[in-house]
Chain A
Amino acid sequence: MSAPGESGREALNRVWAQPRGWRYFSEVNNTAVGLWYLAAGLGFFAVAGVLALLMRLQLAWPWMGFLGPEAYNQVFTMHGTIMMVVFAVPIMEAVAVYVLPQMLGVRDLPFPRLSSYGFWCYLLGGLLLLSSFLFGPVPNGGWFMYTPLSGPEYTPGLNTDFWLLGLTFIEISAVAACIELIVGIMKTRAPGMSLDRMPILGWAFLTVAVMILFAFPPLLLGDVLLEAERVLDWPFFDAGRGGDPLLWQHLFWFFGHPEVYIIFLPGAAMVSTILPTFCGRPLVGHQWVVVATIATGILSFGLWVHHMFAAGIPLLSLSLFSAASMAVAIPSGIQVFAWLATLWGARPRWDTPFLFVIGFLVIFVIGGLTGVMVASVPFDWQVTDTHFVVAHFHYVLIGGAIFPLFGALTYWFPLPSGRLMDETVGKWSFWLMFVGFNVTFFPLHVLGLLGMPRRVYTYPGGLGWEWLNLTATIGAFVLGAGVAVFFANLAWSWKRGRPAGHDPWKAGTLEWAGPTPLTDSGGASVPRVRSLHPLWDQPAEMAAAARGEALMCRPTTHGRETLRVSAVSAEPQQVIQVSGPGWSQVAAAAATAVMFGAGTFHLWGVAAAGGVVTLALLTRWAWHSDRQPPMARVDIGQGIVVPTYAADHSSHAWWAAVVAVLFDGAAYLALLSAYVFLWLVNPVWPPPPWEGRIALGDILAGGGMLAVAAVLAHAGAGLHRRGRHWALPAGLGGAVAVAVAVAWTGLSTLTAADLGPTRHAFPATVWVMALYTLVHLGVATLLALLVLARQAAGLVTPVRRMTVMMTVLAWDFAAFTGLASMAMLVLWPATGGGGGICTW
């Protein structure tokens, strides 16, 4: 409740005030969570960087005894894993969490508690992975973790388990970021910021989030299958028992290649943000850069096999991927030409962020050219898995992501600190990094051509590799010094830098509309946007907005709120009340950590307890969500009146549910693809011992019951919406009863069929498909029970029914995927020549 006589701004400051002391960590607002994310990311970057220096020391000269083979293998595995999965992707998400809401002119992301949960999962997951150094079994199978080397036979220790469970844990944060970014970008922007007025950074993160949505689920599936092979001996990757090591490679690289662009696209977007500011003019060809961003994102899904050019796959298949790999260079070319055109005769200001941009351009062009080279199948046969490739992807990733990131950190530093980073020290850090980088990585091209493979802990003399390696090692320490200087500059300038004041770089985008440092509320009011560069094109309106004279200048629902707009044209649709500080997400992340940590050590009882507690905490969290403020409609200023609650398909919550289901669906598609792949490599599928094991009638009955459950859920929800309150418990209760029956008969059928999942990949895959459906029926059941409890507590009504919509979606999804699995089992093998699993 607003205090009497309190001004709008005072009320805003009160509801958005960040807790002090240790309670600060109960905060969920993007400006706090984003900062923690950035700090943690840079911390992991430092660790992985030190590991890189250890490697370079060991390789400085032939037969060095600094690291033994086992230690070296652990170090390169952890360097790659941390850099790719624990640093690069999360730090890009961190930048998005921190800066994107401000740039899009809103006060927070739509689901702050989810971002916060994602952050804590990320931090604890990264620490779980790192803790392997304390316990000893450090992952040593390479960041690509190829089977069978990483499997139970050749890595019997816990090394691979740390990797699999640590990564799976961290993936929770990727899912959270994916939902948050897609819904945040599409549904919460300043009014008037239609998609054609959205900055490139928004486009890049939208593209990246959609890429995460489809790239990460296959890795998640691969993690689950490999852990099942390690713990349960289900032979998905064992060629002797119908599995295939190449299945892992397909699953991993379907994630691994887009992953590179998930890192690069935000980097390029930072360049597209910084460069126009320092040139004092708009990006030439803005729309073509948008086109390039989207095209890169989608084309990058057609590249995964180019990591497997030497695996013996038919040449024609490889050529398809070669064509796609060359095609993806074209959108990168569009971006380079757009940047060149923008700075053509612009007489830019040479501050540190701009230096990093120019350094990026030089390095990235080289990395792009060697990228075209390795896209050539025959040339790649020579250089794949050599230091040439090491050079190539460091040019792309350090050049394409680290340089823009460091430029961006310098650029946006005033937002949290209110200060500028020191220019002189900044220039030193740039030049040390630029020179050190090239001295380190340029010689590696030559080393690769001279025959030096990757991932070798030592090498003999006499092959012409000595001096190039020594040069690279010296360069690495110069590069490391540059990074250290940059970090020192960050730390020093945080309290002692020159005050930045308002819009220190004369930028055109909304994050600079207010004072620095940002206020907790993220701005006194929300402006109406009419341009791609509102600060350049509508200065008077922006100044008024900064004085609190635009929209949403007071918390009309008495809580933290943000504005939901229409997806394309950004017309106001709803004031969303978002969560404030609390501990439930921290507790849930801690419980999740117990689950994954205990699972790593195969302490299944403890892990199960952690899982139950996690589930309980998430349920409690869900209980308090789907808020409906008492006032149905509010005036947000300038005569705009919008509702405060909506349960329809334009709602941000519905979008989030759809995104989550798409993620899950992508994992399911990966599972079906794995099934088809194994069918392709096995001469007879299913193998004779599994022919006719299950009666067709049993499968048809199960499918029918799944359909009935979904229909019951639909009918109950539909009638409830029309005011029949009894219909909800009847429909959902009926669905739950049917689900229990399906689970019971399904499990007893499968058990009676005695498939023996350890004997062959076929029964193992059948079991995974069955378990997938069982787990989803379980989730749908939990949601149904939650909805019924909420209805009993008066939290679900025919109007306030978002949780009902989500629950019905869960039933639909469980039933649909279950039916698809059954159809697959019955129909697909029939085309393979052999008999099916069913007796007809």
Chain B
Amino acid sequence: MLQSALRTATPQAESLAGLWWLMLGLSVAVFAVVMALLAAGLLMPRRPPPGERVIMVGVGVTVVVLGGLLVHSTLVGARVAAGTDGDPLRVEVVGRQWWWEVRYPQDGAVLANEIRLPAGRPVEIALISGDVIHSFWVPGLAGKMDLVPGHPNLLRITPAEPGVFRGQCGEYCGTQHALMAFMVVVQPPADFARWLVGQGEPAAEPADGLAARGRALFLSSGCGACHTVRGTAADGRVGPDLTHVGSRLTIGAGILPQNVGTLGGWIANSQAIKPGNAMPVFDQFSGGELRAIATWLAGLE
């Protein structure tokens, strides 16, 4: 239920879920009435048809119910779109085929496929397309908002309490649309503040020889042409920023848990896991070399 629209953590998503339950109740009632009329009409003994007036009665009821629903739904929409008052945290999300770049412009932090937010503070998420149209969707936090080239959009939410939520691209965006997911972690404000400071810093020095060997291999094998690791020579902008990849919950855009094993497997043959993604296959590495690189990356917390 990590991605359910009915397990909500913001007043915005809560309103949408409330609208669903209201409309579900109405629909069940209408369906029951219509089916009862259908069954009664079919089963009753022969009798002359009713006059056209019954149609008018049915239409009158429909107009009243629909009109009420329209007013309610419009007001809910206006409320949800407005967000809540307060000093908002601004986050930028750039959608790319097929991953999410996440930036905290005020703090210089850049990461991928994971967004952390403080509980209780309004958030403005600026949604920017890096290539084609994507749609930003975390059902537990908000409805969808598209990332359209040339049209930066703004999503306003207010996470109420800590929790972990999964989100996924909502608009078909090419080969790997299916595996373009991300995680949203809502934290207590103090934890979040600590995390954000850490994300703004350059990468940690390798903890041991294995990690140091991993870093050397990473830098000598051309990985830096696509990836940035702040504090090293790697400054590529094609793939995700890996400066603090070891602190993330997942890799591959929300599809595998992040650990030494999955990192090594991803480097060796990401095309088997997520065919069509932009990362080449690195099958020239030996098992030991893979382990070294993965250990270094997993240590970048």
Contacts and interface: CB of A to CB of B under 8 A. Distances in A.
Given A315-B78, A378-B76, A340 B145 contact: no
Interface string A434-453: 00000000000000011111
A335 to B, nearest CB: 9
Interface in A359-376: 361-362, 365-366, 369-370, 372-373, 376
B37 interface: yes
A337 B59 CA distance: 8
B50 A284 contact: yes
A346 B97 CA distance: 59
Interface in B236-271: 255
Contact of B150 (A284, A344, A681): A681
Q: For chain A, what secondary structure do more than half of its interface residues adopt (helix, strand, loop), or is it mixed?
A: helix
A235 B11 CA distance: 41
A574 to B, nearest CB: 37
Interface stretch (B112-120, B131-139, B189-197): B131-139
B200 interface: no
Contacts of A149: 132-133, 172-174
Interface in A237-295: 239-240, 244-246, 281, 284-285, 288
B182 to A, nearest CB: 13
Interface in B165-205: 166, 168-179, 181
A762 interface: no
A457 interface: yes
A500 interface: no
B177 A154 contact: no
A288 B55 contact: yes
B209 interface: no
Contacts of A319: 74, 77
B101 interface: no
Nearest to B155: A312
Instruction: Name the residue among B67, B77, B131 with the largest chain A CB count within 10 angstroms.
Output: B77
A463 interface: yes
B155 to A, nearest CB: 9
Contacts of A240: 149-150
B66 interface: yes
Contact of B59 (A334, A378, A681): A334
Contacts of A805: none
Interface stretch (A68-76, A474-482, A630-638): A68-76
A342 B49 CA distance: 6
A384 interface: yes
B212 interface: no
Nearest to A286: B52
A455 B175 contact: no
A345 B35 CA distance: 15
B216 interface: no
Q: For chain B, what secondary structure do more than half of its interface residues adopt (helix, strand, loop), or is it mixed?
A: mixed
B49 A344 contact: yes
A311 interface: yes
Contacts of B81: 315
A794 interface: no
Interface in A423-475: 449-460, 462-464
A382 B166 CA distance: 14
Interface string B37-56: 11011101111111110110
A69 B255 CA distance: 15
A584 B13 CA distance: 61
B232 interface: no
Given A310-B135, A311-B148, A344-B47, A362 B143 contact: no
Contacts of B77: 315, 318-319, 322, 376-378
B66 A449 contact: no
A454 B135 CA distance: 12
B16 A381 contact: yes
Given A70-B276, A315-B78, A385 B151 contact: no
Nearest to A327: B66
B15 interface: yes
List the 4 closest pairs (A to B, CB-CB), nearest first. A381-B143, A239-B150, A451-B3, A456-B178
Nearest to A153: B131
Instruction: Name the residue among A141, A142, A315, A379 with the largest chain B CB count within 10 angstroms.
Output: A379
Interface stretch (B26-34, B85-93, B282-290): B26-34
B132 A379 contact: no
A345 B46 contact: yes
A285 B52 contact: yes
A321 to B, nearest CB: 11
Contacts of A386: 170
A377 B66 contact: no
Nearest to A69: B175
17 contacts: A70-B175, A73-B175, A149-B132, A244-B150, A245-B148, A311-B151, A330-B62, A344-B49, A379-B16, A379-B19, A379-B73, A383-B5, A450-B3, A451-B168, A455-B178, A462-B2, A463-B166
B211 interface: no
A71 to B, nearest CB: 10
Instruction: Name the residue among B37, B45, B139 with the largest chain A CB count within 10 angstroms.
Output: B139
B237 to A, nearest CB: 18
B1 interface: yes
A381 B144 contact: yes
Given A326-B69, A342-B49, A378-B16, A453 B41 contact: no
Nearest to B46: A347
A322 B77 CA distance: 11
A68 B170 CA distance: 19
Given A369-B27, A379-B73, A142 B172 contact: yes
A385 B135 contact: yes
A338 B57 CA distance: 11
Contact of A372 (B23, B35, B52, B74): B23
A54 interface: no
A258 B274 CA distance: 38
B31 A366 contact: yes
B63 interface: yes
B41 A343 contact: yes
A690 B208 CA distance: 62
B176 A69 contact: yes
Contacts of B133: 146, 148-149, 245
Nearest to A243: B150
B298 interface: no
Contact of B16 (A329, A334, A348, A382): A382
A323 interface: yes
Contact of A378 (B6, B67, B80): B80
A467 to B, nearest CB: 14
Contact of A376 (B23, B52, B67, B144): B23
Given A345-B47, A372-B69, A384-B170, A451 B54 contact: no
Nearest to A345: B47
Contact of A340 (B41, B172, B174): B41
A449 B27 contact: no
Instruction: Name the residue among B6, B41, B47, B175 with the largest chain A CB count within 10 angstroms.
Output: B41
B94 interface: no
Contacts of B6: 449-450
A154 B131 contact: yes
A330 B37 contact: no
Given A245-B150, A344-B49, A326 B70 contact: yes
A70 B69 CA distance: 41
B142 interface: yes
Given A146-B133, A154-B131, A340 B34 contact: yes
A322 B70 CA distance: 8
Contact of B20 (A338, A366, A379, A464): A379
Contacts of B10: none
Contacts of A373: 20, 23, 27
Given A73-B172, A329-B62, A348-B42, 12 more contacts: A73-B175, A310-B135, A312-B153, A326-B69, A337-B59, A344-B50, A345-B44, A373-B27, A449-B5, A450-B6, A453-B168, A453-B169
B70 A323 contact: yes
A376 B73 contact: yes
A285 B59 CA distance: 12
